[in-house]
Amino acid sequence: MRIIRVNHTTECALQRSYVASNSECHSSSKPQPGEITLAHHGVLFLDELPEFDRKVLEVLREPLESGHIVIARAKDRVRFPARFQLVAAMNPCPCGYLGEPSGKCSCTPDMVQRYRNKLSGPLLDRIDLHLTVAREATALNPAAKPGENSASAAALVAEARERQQKRQGCANAFLDLPGLKRHCKLSTADETWLESACERLTLSLRSAHRLLKVARTLADLEQVDAIKREHLAEALQYRPATP
């Protein structure tokens, strides 16, 4: 699997992926694939996500939905493949210490909000799993943690993907709306519960659809046919509430 890592200091490399939106580019130049195309069928990792130019991040919305990017020139219009898995990392605040027991954070609430507002709602809608990761302890020889190892987790994922291929011919992430209605059915009670939760958390319809795909995947990992309430509840935990 190809992994492309980009940080904000090498942002120009990512920006080549959609130079059609960059007015500084010469219209006579030939369109060239950028990092998101190089990451096709692989992973695109963006480090320090809020430090990227907002215009650069916003154009990621098209390939995250369609799996391709269109670059237009005066004489050319080229479509490049861009079906990648986006992984991004960011600090909780500008200084990076928000929530630390040490109390080192010097950011005001306004500073934290401005920092997080660099990421638009539509972009965040297209990120299915939002996780808070605690800082690692500075132990030279940390004790082994209980739980599944990478090999067993990979085997579970492979079984779940095979289950999806047999059921619908594609991964859950690629289900269209008819496929979503067919393969992500809920009981009447669970459907009402989910609608109420989405309203309470002010989630968009796109977020709700993506949440259903995550719940379907959680059910597949447990090798069960029906999506249950606990799968929906866990999928909801991975969605950020709209401020």
Q: Which ranges of the chain would DSSP assign to H, the alpha helix?
A: 11-15, 35-38, 54-58, 61-66, 109-116, 121-125, 150-168, 177-183, 188-200, 205-221, 229-237
Please answer whether residues 185 and 227 qualify as being in contact, where contact means their C-beta atoms are separated by less than 8 angstroms: yes
For position 172, what pLDDT does the model report? 96
Determine what percent of the chain is predicted with pLDDT higher than 90. Answer: 66
For position 227, what pLDDT does the model report? 97
Task: Determine the angle formed by the axes of helices 150-168 and 205-221, rounding to 10 degrees.
Answer: 110
> Which one has a higher pLDDT value, 9 or 42?
42
Q: Does 192 have pLDDT greater than 90?
A: yes
Domain ranges of the chain: 3-90, 150-237
Question: Is residue 119 classed as helix, strand or coil in its secondary structure?
Answer: coil
Instruction: Please state the CATH superfamily assignment of the domain spanning residues 3-90 in this structure.
Output: P-loop containing nucleotide triphosphate hydrolases (3.40.50.300)
Q: Read off the pLDDT of residues 112-170 as tens digits, 9 standing for 90 and up.
A: 999 999 999 899 999 999 998 887 777 778 777 787 888 999 999 999 999 999 999 99
Cα 163 versus chain centre, distance: 22
Q: 26 is written with which tokens?
A: 């010469």
> Which one has a higher pLDDT value, 88 or 17?
88
For position 213, what pLDDT does the model report? 97
Q: Does 1 have pLDDT greater than 70?
A: no
Residue 117: other Cβ atoms inside 10 A: 12
Of 4-8, 67-71, 236-240, least confident by mean pLDDT is 4-8
Q: Read off the pLDDT of residues 22-59 as tens digits, 9 standing for 90 and up.
A: 433 444 567 788 889 999 999 999 999 999 999 989 98
Backbone angles phi, psi at 157, to 5 degrees: -65, -45
Q: Does 223 have pLDDT greater than 60?
A: yes
Q: Does 20 have pLDDT greater than 70?
A: no
Of 149, 176, 174, nearest to 164 by C-alpha is 174
Of 151, 242, 162, nearest to 204 by C-alpha is 242
Question: Is residue 45 classed as helix, strand or coil in its secondary structure?
Answer: strand
- Average pLDDT for residues 218-238, to the nearest whole number? 96
For position 145, what pLDDT does the model report? 78
For position 142, what pLDDT does the model report? 77
Question: Across all residues in the chain, what is the average pLDDT?
Answer: 86
